[in-house]
Amino acid sequence: AQKITQTQPGMFVQEKEAVTLDCTYDTSDQSYGLFWYKQPSSGEMIFLIYQGSYDEQNATEGRYSLNFQKARKSANLVISASQLGDSAMYFCAMRETDNQAGTALIFGKGTTLSVSS
């Protein structure tokens, strides 16, 4: 079973609108971290936002917020007031504490976001 599932291969949004990128995860750990990264066409992975499994409040960073629903094992990224520069691939990732790959990140397959004017 996939550890991180991103079901939307592509999303389209108009400038200034909000968009939600879906992410569900699968873990039996109690302690884990969830991350979102942005990868523009240049290729660099840019960290956006982090949510810890014990955090009671949803994480926010500027225009980014993470809609964390622990019981549903979902960690959706919400981008408010989309900008043309938000067009990129977005990856959801998880790090577990009891993972054969140590503390490595496990990534989903990504969602391509296209913002139009």
Partner 1 sequence: GAGVSQTPSNKVTEKGKYVELRCDPISGHTALYWYRQSLGQGPEFLIYFQGTGAADDSGLPNDRFFAVRPEGSVSTLKIQRTERGDSAVYLCASSLTGGYTDTQYFGPGTRLTVL
- Candidate residues 31, 80, 114, 116; the one interacting with partner 1 per rule CB under 8 A: 31
Residue with tokens 């919400």: 78
State the binding string over 50-89 for partner 1 (x if CB under 8 A, else -): x-x-------------------------------------
104 binds partner 1 (CB under 8 A): yes
What is the residue type of 33?
G
Q: Does 105 bind partner 1 (CB under 8 A)?
A: yes
Extract the runs of DSSP E, i.e. beta strands, from the chain.
Answer: 4-5, 10-14, 19-21, 24-25, 32-39, 46-52, 60-61, 64-69, 74-79, 88-96, 106-107, 111-116
Give the one residue of 12, 16, 17, 47 binding partner 1; rule: CB under 8 A.
Answer: 47
Q: Which residues bind partner 1 (CB under 8 A)?
A: 4, 31-33, 35, 37, 42-47, 50, 52, 91, 93, 95-97, 100-110
